[in-house]
Structure 1
Amino acid sequence: MFNFSSDVQVYLHRDPIDFRGGINSLAVLVQEEMELDPFAPAIFAFCNRRRDRMKILFFDRSGFVLLLKRLTDDKFRWPQRQDTIMQLDVEQLHWLLDGIDIDAMVRHPVRQYRIAG
């Protein structure tokens, strides 16, 4: 599996897209519908209507890279949010690719301890 740099921005297009399109179609979608720069150091993730395929688009200094992941017996746990575009961190993208429902993830509370002295 790909490991992306932890400092890169990840943008998730929540609405399903037509998967017949390729790199050019996705770059135009990023620029016009998402109103983001497809050449920026960022990752753009898309899913189909059945939620069994995900495309990831990014630009790597010399050209566009398009990754496709197709599940054989399952569906991606796509986040159920109001916004059409979601910003994630790289860890959340890896969770999504691994089949983890990021809406169900709840972080442990951060506790502050004081040492009596």
Structure 2
Amino acid sequence: MLSLSSSHTYYLYAAAVDMRKSFDGLCGLIRNQTVKNPASGEVFVFLNRSRNLIKLLHWEHGGFVLYYKRLEQGTFTPPALSGTGGSIRWPELVLMIEGIQVEKSRQKLRYQP
């Protein structure tokens, strides 16, 4: 069942990834390069070198789910990582997937408990 939402933590893998990798190969990248647990419930985002393919790896109840999108035209533009360990926010992921590039924006302060 599709269950991605703003309640998850998203991590963008910084390097280009060979998109022939599937569940086990991507889990190996996560374990070896980011020292995170792929089965933690966090969502890991991967792009290929030409940035026209994207994969999202996510652990759900009982197993991994792999979301995969290929663009026929254009590229994905990843958000600038600002020293947050590769973490991106849900709105940034949605904008990247939908192909919307914000030239200038400012985030207003919001209360966070």
| TM-score of the two chains, using structure 2 as the length reference | 0.83
Query: Which has the larger Rg?
Result: 1
| TM-score of the two chains, using structure 1 as the length reference | 0.80
Q: Is the 8 A contact 1:52 1:71 kept in 2?
A: yes
Q: Runs of 4+ in structure 1 displaced over 4 angstroms?
A: 80-83
* Alpha-carbon separation, structure 2, partners of 1:97 and 1:90: 11
Q: How does 1:60-71 map to 2 (within 5 A)?
A: 60-71=60-71
Higher helix share: 2
Q: Gaps (5+ residues) in structure 1?
A: 111-117
* Alpha-carbon separation, structure 2, partners of 1:79 and 1:88: 8
Q: Secondary structure at the match of 1:36?
A: coil
Q: Secondary structure at the match of 1:64?
A: strand
Partner of 1:86: 86
Partner of 1:25: 25
Partner of 2:97: 97
* Alpha-carbon separation, structure 1, partners of 2:4 and 2:21: 24
Q: Secondary structure at the match of 1:55?
A: strand
Q: CA deviation at 1:67?
A: 1.0
Residues 41-82 of structure 1, C-alpha deviations (whole Å, 9 max, x = no match): 110000001110001000001100111100001100123548
Partner of 2:105: 106
Q: Is the 8 A contact 1:45 1:54 kept in 2?
A: yes
* Alpha-carbon separation, structure 2, partners of 1:109 and 1:17: 34
* Alpha-carbon separation, structure 2, partners of 1:13 and 1:105: 24
CA RMSD, 1 decimal = 2.2
Percent identical residues: 27
Residues 79-113 of structure 1, C-alpha deviations (whole Å, 9 max, x = no match): 35486x510122211111111236x3512545xxx
Partner of 1:113: none
Matched AA of 1:79? P
* Alpha-carbon separation, structure 1, partners of 2:23 and 2:74: 25
Aligned residues: 108
